[in-house]
Structure 1
Amino acid sequence: MSTNQSVLIAGGSRGLGLLMAREFLGLGYAVHICARDAEELERAAVDLRRRGGTVTARVVDVRDAHAVEAWVAATYPDGTAPDVALHVAGIIQVGPWDAVEPAMTDECVDTMTKGAAYLAWAIVPRMRAAGRGRIGIMSSIGGVISVPHLIPYSMAKFGAAGLAYGLQAELSGTGVTCTAICPPPMRTGSHLHAQFSGRPEAEYAWFAPAASLPLASLDGTTAARRIVRAVLAGRSVVGPTPLPWLARRVFGLALGLTIGALGLAGRLLPRGKQPPRAGLDVRDRASRTVRGLTRLGDRKARHTNENHRSVGDPDL
Structure 2
Amino acid sequence: MKLSRYMWGAVAVGGLVAARHLHRKKRHLELSGRVILITGATRGLGLVMARQLSQAGAKVAICGRNQEELDAACRQLSELTSEFLGINCNVTDKVQVQEMMSHIQRHWGEVEVLINNAGIIQVGPMEHMNEEDYRQAINVHFWAPFNLIKEALPGMKASGQGRIVNIASINGKVSFPHLLPYTVSKFALAGFSEGITSELGRNNIRVTSVYPGLMRTGSPRNIDVKGRHKKEYAWFKVSDSLPGLSMDAEKAAAKIIKAMKYGKKVIGLGLPAKLAMAMEGLVPGINLSFFDVADKLLPGTVDSHADSADTHKGYESESDITKSMLTSKTTDAEKRNNERLKKRQ
Pick one of 117, 123, 138 that aligns with 1:94.
123
2:31·2:53 contact (CA, 8 Å) conserved in 1? no
TM-score relative to the length of structure 2: 0.85
Gaps of 5+ in 1: 312-316
Pick one of 187, 190, 195 that aligns with 1:161.
190
Give, in angstroms, the shift of residue 308 of structure 1: 2.4
Greater alpha carbon shift after TM alignment, 49-58 vs 115-124: 49-58
User: What's 1:186 paired with?
Assistant: 215
1:257 aligned to 2:257? no
2:138·2:185 contact (CA, 8 Å) conserved in 1? yes
Tell me the secondary structure at the aligned position of residue 294 of structure 2.
helix
Letter in 2 for 1:218: M
Deviation per CA, 1:110-143: give whole Å up to 9, x if none: 0011111111111012101110111101101111
CA shift in 2, pair 1:78/1:299, >3 Å: closer
User: What's 2:230 paired with?
Assistant: 201
User: What's 2:143 paired with?
Assistant: 114
1:300 aligned to 2:329? no
Tell me the secondary structure at the aligned position of residue 76 of structure 1.
helix
Pick one of 37, 45, 59 that aligns with 2:66.
37
Deviation per CA, 1:165-184: give whole Å up to 9, x if none: 01211112211111111111
User: What's 1:314 paired with?
Assistant: none
Separation in structure 2 between the aligned mates of residue 310 and residue 119 of structure 1, nearest angstrom:
31
Ranked by relative contact order (alpha carbons within 8 Å, sequence separation 6 or more), the top structure is 1
Tell me the secondary structure at the aligned position of residue 212 of structure 2.
coil
TM-score relative to the length of structure 1: 0.93
CA RMSD of aligned residues (A): 1.9
User: What's 1:276 paired with?
Assistant: 311
1:41·1:59 contact (CA, 8 Å) conserved in 2? yes
More helix by share: 2
2:165·2:260 contact (CA, 8 Å) conserved in 1? yes
User: What's 1:125 paired with?
Assistant: 154
User: What's 1:48 paired with?
Assistant: 77
1:141·1:183 contact (CA, 8 Å) conserved in 2? yes
Separation in structure 1 between the aligned mates of residue 260 and residue 199 of structure 2, nearest angstrom:
17
Separation in structure 1 between the aligned mates of residue 293 and residue 31 of structure 2, nearest angstrom:
53
User: What's 1:246 paired with?
Assistant: 275
Separation in structure 2 between the aligned mates of residue 280 and residue 37 of structure 1, nearest angstrom:
17
Letter in 2 for 1:233: Y
Give, in angstroms, the shift of residue 292 of structure 1: 2.1
Tell me the secondary structure at the aligned position of residue 106 of structure 2.
coil
Give, in angstroms, the shift of residue 93 of structure 1: 0.9
Pick one of 30, 34, 44 that aligns with 1:5.
34
Separation in structure 1 between the aligned mates of residue 216 and residue 269 of structure 2, nearest angstrom:
13
Deviation per CA, 1:83-131: give whole Å up to 9, x if none: 2111100001110001101111111110011111111111012101110
Greater alpha carbon shift after TM alignment, 238-247 vs 172-181: 238-247
Letter in 2 for 1:114: W
Give, in angstroms, the shift of residue 161 of structure 1: 1.1
Give, in angstroms, the shift of residue 288 of structure 1: 4.6
1:141 aligned to 2:170? yes
2:246·2:270 contact (CA, 8 Å) conserved in 1? no
Q: Please show how residues 209-220 of structure 1 align to structure 2 within 5 Å.
A: 209-220=238-249
Give, in angstroms, the shift of residue 256 of structure 1: 3.3
Asked which structure has the greater CA Rg, the reply is 2
User: What's 1:151 paired with?
Assistant: 180
Deviation per CA, 1:248-292: give whole Å up to 9, x if none: 221233233321321221122112341221111112xx1157522
Give, in angstroms, the shift of residue 247 of structure 1: 1.4
Tell me the secondary structure at the aligned position of residue 158 of structure 2.
helix
What is the number of residues matched between the two proteins?
309
1:209·1:290 contact (CA, 8 Å) conserved in 2? no
Separation in structure 2 between the aligned mates of residue 206 and residue 103 of structure 1, nearest angstrom:
24
Tell me the secondary structure at the aligned position of residue 120 of structure 2.
coil
User: What's 1:236 paired with?
Assistant: 265
Q: Please show how residues 55-66 of structure 1 align to structure 2 within 5 Å.
A: 55-66=84-95
1:291 aligned to 2:324? yes
Greater alpha carbon shift after TM alignment, 127-136 vs 260-269: 260-269
Could you tell me the percent identity over the aligned residues? 32
Separation in structure 2 between the aligned mates of residue 288 and residue 165 of structure 1, nearest angstrom:
39
Separation in structure 1 between the aligned mates of residue 322 and residue 67 of structure 2, nearest angstrom:
35
Q: Please show how residues 64-83 of structure 1 align to structure 2 within 5 Å.
A: 64-77=93-106, 80-83=109-112
User: What's 2:295 paired with?
Assistant: 266
Separation in structure 2 between the aligned mates of residue 48 and residue 162 of structure 1, nearest angstrom:
33
Q: Please show how residues 304-315 of structure 1 align to structure 2 within 5 Å.
A: 304-308=337-341
CA shift in 2, pair 1:309/1:261, >3 Å: farther
Tell me the secondary structure at the aligned position of residue 241 of structure 2.
coil
Letter in 1 for 2:115: L
